[in-house]
Chain A
Amino acid sequence: MGDAGAQGEFGQAALAHLDRLYAFAHALARNRQAAEDLVQETYLRALRSRRRPGPDENLRGWLFTILHNVWRNEVRRRRPESLDAHPEWAAALVAKGPAAGEAVEGQRTAVRLAAFVDALPEHLREVMVLRFGEGFSYQRIAEILGCPAGTVMSRLARGRALVRQAFGSWNGHGPREEGR
């Protein structure tokens, strides 16, 4: 079990989004175990669903919507917040950062930005992750979160403003606060 040959076309297509779903789950739950539970439950729901996205629909958006619904309606309610003390992705960010030149500053900025977004209130954190981490459109984010597109836009504006407030304006090479 578990090999690609045992999975159908839908299963393989859905599995391709695992990393991104996990990243979103982690952004919501901020806890590795909770994120894993959330992702696993998302796939179970998707697999049990008899209505699956058609060829013209967005499978990734559909999976993100399921994940967010599970989070909002079930997991968040029953799970007291427990933050990972040392998120493993912080180390991963440094390890995967640019290789030379401005690498060190770039990595430092990335880690600080990730930590900053991670510390935002959930309603801002989720739109920031869906827009900048996943590249979803405003409309798709609104569908995933079940809110008006205008709400997405105002939350993104607020998130951006907070980032600028904390890091200063970017000068094309990084935030000015970084001293370049």
Chain B
Amino acid sequence: MTGCEGARALVPAYVDGELVGEDLRAFESHLAGCPGCREALHAETAMAEDLGRSLAAPTAPPELRRRVADSIGAAERRRSWWWPAAAAAVVAAAGWVAVARPLPARPASELVSVAVDSHLRYARGQLPLEVRSDRAEEVSAFFAGRVPFHVVLPDYPAPLGEPKPYALEGGRLVAMRGDYAAYVAYRMDGQPISLLVTSSSLATPAGGELVRSGALTFHLESQAGLNVITWTDNGLTYALASDVSVEGARSCLVCHGSREERRKIDGFGPRT
């Protein structure tokens, strides 16, 4: 900065709060001894304030606010509906069958950590799939004999008149407590969704926000910025990880509180 000419050039950036470091120190030092530049600064500040006041309007019309609020409410409910529904769908048709192992069960936190870690690595491209296929039976066949439970992945039935909400991408084994858990990768709207499955003798769900859906109880929690749902069914424990927003129990009940709506969830419930 050189003299008044240099200082005047910096006045707008100073008013905008963009001046830093040596430029800032030099500018303020010059300002302290220069009435002319102080006047220029006051004028620039006054202009910026007047511009700010003049551009503060308009505010959104009430009708627009109502429409946007309605859209948000509807979208949030749709969004929260799919999570437990998708999770339950996997359970419903999966036909995963546990093979009992005489090991002490541990809380699901380890499963959640493994699920989150696996999900993040997969999302970063650091967890290659050992079987890559969108065919459920091909992925299921991969797990046969590799994990201590039987795997039959579902072909998720899309709701009538709606596109299939997510696509199967493949699977792989993930080490957990000296054994293997089944890692299955899905994708929804371009974003990965990870499902980790292990025996309930190794992990059981605990903690988080509880959402009861049909005969299942889902545990919802957040870890590392992800939403994780864990639940147990038929001797197996599941962890579903994604960054898809979940609003918790309230959201499910908003959409599926009525008897009519509850049937949609019950339809994804466990086989009896």
Contact = CB atoms under 8 A, between A and B. Distances in A.
Interface of A: 1-3, 6-12, 14-15, 18-19, 21-23, 26-27, 32, 36, 39-40, 43-44, 47-48, 50-52, 54-55, 87-89, 92-93, 96-97, 106, 109-114, 117, 128-129, 131-133, 135, 137-138, 153, 156-157, 160, 163-164, 167, 169-175
Given A50-B243, A51-B243, A10 B76 contact: yes
Q: List the 6 closest A-B pairs by CB distance, nearest first.
A: A133-B55, A89-B58, A6-B73, A11-B72, A113-B54, A89-B57
Given A15-B72, A22-B61, 8 more contacts: A7-B69, A8-B245, A9-B247, A43-B68, A133-B52, A137-B16, A156-B16, A160-B47
Interface in B176-190: 188-190
A106 B50 CA distance: 8
A36 to B, nearest CB: 5
B60 interface: yes
Contacts of B74: 1
B66 interface: yes
Interface string B32-74: 0000000000111011101111111111110011111111111
B57 A164 contact: no
Given A92-B59, A172-B43, A174-B46, A39 B53 contact: no
B50 A15 contact: no
28 contacts: A7-B73, A8-B251, A19-B59, A21-B60, A27-B55, A32-B61, A39-B64, A44-B71, A47-B71, A47-B72, A47-B76, A50-B189, A50-B191, A54-B225, A87-B58, A92-B59, A93-B54, A93-B56, A109-B50, A132-B51, A132-B55, A138-B16, A156-B12, A164-B47, A169-B43, A170-B43, A171-B46, A173-B46
